[in-house]
Amino acid sequence: MQSAAEQFPELQTQRLQLRSLTIADSEAIFALRSNEEVNRFIGRKAAQTIADAAQFIQDRLLDSSKKQGVYWAIELKSTGKLIGTICYWNINEDENSAEIGYELLPDMQGQGLMQEAITAVIAWGFIHMNLDVITAFPLGEHDKSVSLLEKNKFTYNEVNNGHLVYKLSRQTWQANQPA
């Protein structure tokens, strides 16, 4: 499997720029990672300081340099504001698979923005990373995330430690692409 490209893969959608995180994003990442509504569905401890956010960014940049993950900042083209993140991690080269994860500030939800981001990231994963399967683990009560996955043809497989397991295969994705 081809891992992350040598140069970070910046992606564009109609309204979004998906780009690498930078240390300059520390305040925006802190706002996202300390947001109670976002964390409620991710099941993580809230960031306590901007230094926590800066460390998180440094860790994700290291993951990227080691080809252990690809972590995009989701930025509005119109304002340059970082509004969320989307990533591939838990990459398994033996199985050509990766886990997708995403988060979006609550005031940006319900506008189709994550749909734009996930469409671009799924395509990039199958085309450029040569993935065969993309997996997601939403909490069962996170209806918006489950709906987003199902809209993108992920199928429910099982429950694992309180998380639902959804998978999207390359074949299913290809079969649902416009002719």
CB count, 10 Å around CB of 103? Answer: 20
| Separation in Å, CA 6 to CA 3, 36, 129, 151, 167 | 9, 35, 12, 31, 27
User: So what's the pLDDT on residue 2?
Assistant: 40
Q: Which pLDDT band holds residue 26 (cuts at 50, 70, 90)?
A: very high
Nearest to 89 by CA among 131, 27, 50: 131
**The two three-digit tokens of residue 154, written as one number:** 């992920």
Q: How far apart are CA 33 and CA 30, in angstroms?
A: 5
Q: Does the pLDDT value for residue 49 go beyond 90?
A: yes
Q: Does the pLDDT value for residue 108 go beyond 60?
A: yes
Higher per-residue pLDDT: 65 or 172: 172
For the segment(s) 11-175, the CATH number from 3.40.630.30, 3.30.360.10, 3.50.50.60, 3.10.20.30 is 3.40.630.30
Q: Which pLDDT band holds residue 162 (cuts at 50, 70, 90)?
A: confident
User: So what's the pLDDT on residue 5?
Assistant: 40
User: So what's the pLDDT on residue 8?
Assistant: 87
Q: How far apart are CA 9 and CA 100, in angstroms?
A: 16
Strand pairing class (97-104; 70-76): unpaired
CB 119 within 8 A of CB 13: yes
Give the 3-state DSSP-derived string for the chain, with helices as H, strands as E and coil as C: CCCCCCCCCCEECCCEEEEECCHHHHHHHHHHHCCHHHHHHHCCCCCCCHHHHHHHHHHHHHHHHCCCCEEEEEEECCCCCEEEEEEEEEEECCCCEEEEEEEECHHHCCCCHHHHHHHHHHHHHHHHCCCCEEEECCECCCHHHHHHHHHCCCEEEEEECCEEEEEEEHHHHHHCCCC
Q: Does the pLDDT value for residue 39 go beyond 70?
A: yes
Domain limits of the chain? 11-175
Question: Percent of the chain beyond pLDDT 90?
Answer: 77
Arithmetic mean of pLDDT, 39-67: 89
Q: Does the pLDDT value for residue 53 go beyond 80?
A: yes
User: So what's the pLDDT on residue 6?
Assistant: 57
